[in-house]
Structure 1
Amino acid sequence: MTPFGKRLRELREQHGISLTELATALHVSPAYLSALEHGKRGRPSAGLIHQVNEHFGLIWDDAEELVRLARLSHPRVVVDTAGLSPMATELANRLARTIRDLPEARVAALLALLESPPD
Structure 2
Amino acid sequence: MSPFSDFLRSFRLSNEIPQAELADLMGCNQTFISALENGVRSRPSKDFVDKFVSVFDLTEAETLHLYEVYEASNNTIMLDPALSQDAFRMFHELREKMADLAPIQVKLMRDIVTMKDHINEPQTKARIIRRRNVSG
Name the counterpart of 2:102: 103
The correspondence of residues 59-98 of structure 1 with structure 2, limited to 5 A, is 59-75=59-75, 77-80=76-79, 82-98=81-97
User: Structure 1, residues 14-50: CA drift from partner, whole Å, max 9, x if none?
Assistant: 1111211211111111111122222232332222112
Q: TM-score, normalization: structure 2? A: 0.74
CA distance in 2, matches of 1:25, 1:114: 39
1:22-80 deviation digits (Å, cap 9, x = unpaired):
111111111111222222323322221122223333121210221121122233x2342
Aligned length in residues: 118
Supply the distance in 1 between the matched residues of 2:114 and 2:54 (Cα, whole angstroms): 29
- Larger fraction in helix: 1
In 2, Cα distance between equivalents of 1:82 and 1:47: 29
Letter in 1 for 2:57: G
Letter in 2 for 1:4: F
Over aligned residue pairs, what C-alpha RMSD do you find?
2.0
Counterpart in 1 of 2:112?
113
State whether residues 81 and 88 of structure 1, in contact with CA within 8 Å, keep that contact through their aligned partners in structure 2.
no
Q: Is the 8 A contact 1:23 1:29 kept in 2?
A: yes
**In 2 relative to 1, CA 113–37 (structure 1 residues): closer, same or farther, beyond 3 Å?**
farther
Sequence identity (%):
25
Distance 1:93 1:86 in 2: 11
- Corresponding residue number in structure 1 for 2:130: none
Distance verdict in 2 for CA 1:21–1:109, change over 3 Å? farther
* Ranges of 4+ aligned residues in structure 1 off by more than 6 Å: none
How much does 1:118 deviate?
6.0
**Structure 2 residue ranges without an equivalent (≥5):** 120-136
Q: Which runs of 5+ in 1 are unaligned?
A: none
**Greater relative contact order (CA < 8 Å, ≥ 6 in sequence):** 1
Aligned residue number for residue 28 of structure 1 = 28
Distance 1:33 1:52 in 2: 12
